[in-house]
Every structure is written in structure tokens, then in C-alpha cells.
Amino acid sequence: MAESAPRVGVIMGSRSDWETMRHADETLTALGIAHECRVVSAHRTPGRLFDYATTARGRGIQVIIAGAGGAAHLPGMAASMTPLPVLGVPVESHALKGMDSLLSIVQMPGGVPVGTLAIGKAGAINAALLAASILALADPALAERLDAWRARQTEGVPHDPV
Ligand code: RP5
């Protein structure tokens, strides 16, 4: 089930985003999807962002998950430099609870899409699941693993509240 070359690139603006973005990493791992995780800051390492976004497709990356907080330009700038689907995760900021991150990521101009997820952990998990859904369109084995993951989730919901 394990894959080798990364198909999903998980990038984040800072190590401080890892506590959120590790949930994308863990979900991709649970689904057996080869991926890589990198710190790439739109503001502090613009050259690294350029290199990452412009070479991702050629390296075999098929979906990019980008998480950032505050003035969260990473997903949009990545999307501006690659035709790959980019899924944006707004990281919860201290000052504005992630509303700044959300609005920075979601309000893209027509022509450069970013699929924006929920703020925080739920967004990171769902970005990984959405990446899995995209890849599963052309990967029947992954589609089966995703179906099984969803079935386990459904079975794990208790009937009783306590
Ligand atoms: C953004 O600024 C990062 O994505 C992070 O969410 C936020 C704060 O970064 P640090 O100051 O914690 O490195 O670029």
C-alpha cells in the first residue's frame, strides 16, 4: 500500500503551523498517500516558494496543500505559479483567531483558484481528504482506501451521547 514518490506537497509558512498541518500529514499517512512536508514562507522565503511552486508538477506532485496564518499569502502565491490544484488551510492566528488567515486565502481573484478549507485542524484534515478524493479519481486502489476510511469513521460514531 505504501507509495514512494510524493504525490502531495504539504507546505506551510512557518514551523509554528505544524501543530495544525500535522493533521494533514497524519491523514495522508493514514490513507497511504506518499507526500512531503516543507516550510515555505511567502514572505520570509519567497525564492523557496518560487522554486517549490514552479518545480512541483515536474517532480510528480499532483496536489499542493498550503497552510498559513495571518497575512496568509502562501496558498494564493503558490497557485499563481502552478497549474496544480492548491488547497488552502487557514491557520488559526492568535490576534484574529484565523479570520485574517481565512479571508487572505479565500478571496482570490477570478482566474487563480485556491480551494479554501476551514480554519485550523478540521481544515487540515479535510484538505488531505480532498486531495485523496482528487487523486482517487484516477487511482482505484486509493479510492478503496478512502471508502474504507469513510466507513470506519461512520462506524466510529457512537449512538449514545455519554
Ligand atoms: C505566517 O505567519 C505563518 O504561516 C504563520 O501562521 C504566521 C506566524 O509565523 P511565525 O511568526 O510563528 O513564524 O507566515
Nearest CA to ligand 1 atom 9: 14
Return d(Cα 62, Cα 89) in angstroms, integer.
17
66 within ligand 1 shell (Cβ under 6 A):
no
Q: How many CB atoms lie within 10 A of CB 22?
A: 15
How far apart CA 133 and CA 119 sit, in angstroms, is 20
Cα(146) to centroid(ligand 1), Å: 32
Q: Is 41's C-beta closer than 6 angstroms to any atom of ligand 1?
A: yes
For ligand 1, atom 3, the nearest C-alpha belongs to 13
CA distance 58 to 91: 28
User: What is the CA(17)–ligand 1 centre distance, in A?
Assistant: 7
How distant is the alpha carbon of residue 53 from its chain centre? 14
Residue whose C-alpha cell reads 514572505 in the numeric block: 43
pTM, two decimal places:
0.97
Q: Report how far ligand 1's centroid is from the alpha carbon of 93 (Å).
A: 8
List per-residue pLDDT tens for the chain, 162 residues long: 456 899 999 999 999 999 999 999 999 999 999 999 999 999 999 999 999 999 999 999 999 999 999 999 999 999 999 999 999 999 999 999 999 999 999 999 999 999 999 999 999 999 999 999 999 999 999 999 999 999 999 999 999 999
Binding residues for substrate: 14, 17, 44
Give how far Cα 147 sits from Cα of 16, 127, 143, Å: 32, 16, 6
49 lines ligand 1 (CB under 6 A): no
